[in-house]
Amino acid sequence: MITVTDVSMVLAAGGRSVTILDRINFEIPAKQTVAIMGPSGSGKSTLLGLMAGLDRPSTGSIHLDGTDITTMAESRMARFRREKVGYIFQSFHLIPTLTAMENVAVPLELSGERGAGERAADLLSAVGLSDRMGHYPVQLSGGEQQRVAVARAFACRPPILLADEPTGNLDSATGSHIIELLLALHRDHGTTLVLVTHDTTLASSMQRVLALRDGRLESDSMPSDLSFIDDTSTDSRKSGRLSSTTSALQFGS
């Protein structure tokens, strides 16, 4: 489903070249859940953005569902991303002048889907925001904004869901709920889920952990072995066991 081959990212800064990612290689099969971990500045978010086609690597290639996205024209990449990839930003990136329902409806309208408003309302109800649909982002809490972002990312039913620190700006209880929503999407719809996180509790709920350090892939392991993660910024909050209540979460078919 996702193949990253010899990917490097080198940027110019202060008159010199800075290597953000250095020859990264891995494959993620369809329907797998993966956490990308590592110290701040290790290249985690850069890698996730490259996998979403938000930027292009300096060298190497990235294939999504068998298609090389690193050679795509931007217009085609935008269409491909709407069909294949849902992306959840750490800072939500909701459109401030649109209501919660309008924010979720945007990708549906861009895809030409009929009944965009109705589906957006169903999605918001599924994430527990049926009473907040007409509210603007500034009127919503951080957790509510993140739930809107989750609903928007899944609006077009993408087979791949990418999330950058989805619990990073949230308290423990709200973060736990967001984790439950993401895992419910994976469980109920077979979504391939890849997320960047500092939270070992969140990482331990994934099937696989990729650890970066200094722009290189340091390890590729099962979540039962997280002792190698030496990250002073790790969020050690205890979110407890994931609730089974999200098994009833339905986003339509």
The reported pLDDT for the residue numbered 199 is 85
Taken in order 212, 213, 216, 219, the sign of the CA dihedral is negative
Buried b (16+ CB within 10 A) or exposed e, 105-126: bbbbeeeeeeebeebbbbbbeb
The reported pLDDT for the residue numbered 118 is 93
d(C-alpha 231, C-alpha 238), whole Å: 17
Task: Report the CATH number at residue 124.
Answer: 3.40.50.300
Domain count, the chain: 1
**Residue 2 maps to a domain:** no
The tens place of each residue's pLDDT in the chain, 253 residues long, gives: 899 999 999 998 888 999 999 999 999 999 999 999 999 889 999 999 999 999 999 999 999 989 999 999 988 998 898 889 999 988 889 999 999 999 999 999 988 888 899 999 998 998 889 999 999 999 999 889 989 998 999 888 899 999 999 888 777 887 888 888 888 878 888 899 999 998 888 899 899 999 999 999 999 988 766 654 554 344 333 333 333 333 334 444 3
Structural domain span for residue 158? 29-42+83-248
**Residue 166 maps to a domain:** yes
**Residue 65 maps to a domain:** no
The tens digit of pLDDT for each residue in 16-30 reads 999 999 999 999 999
**Residue 181 maps to a domain:** yes
Token pair of 8, please? Answer: 């490097």
Candidates 55, 218, 188, 174; CA nearest to 199 is 174
d(C-alpha 199, C-alpha 82), whole Å: 28
**Residue 88 maps to a domain:** yes
**Residue 111 maps to a domain:** yes
The reported pLDDT for the residue numbered 215 is 95
- Three-state DSSP at 97 gives coil
**Residue 140 maps to a domain:** yes
The reported pLDDT for the residue numbered 187 is 87
**Residue 37 maps to a domain:** yes
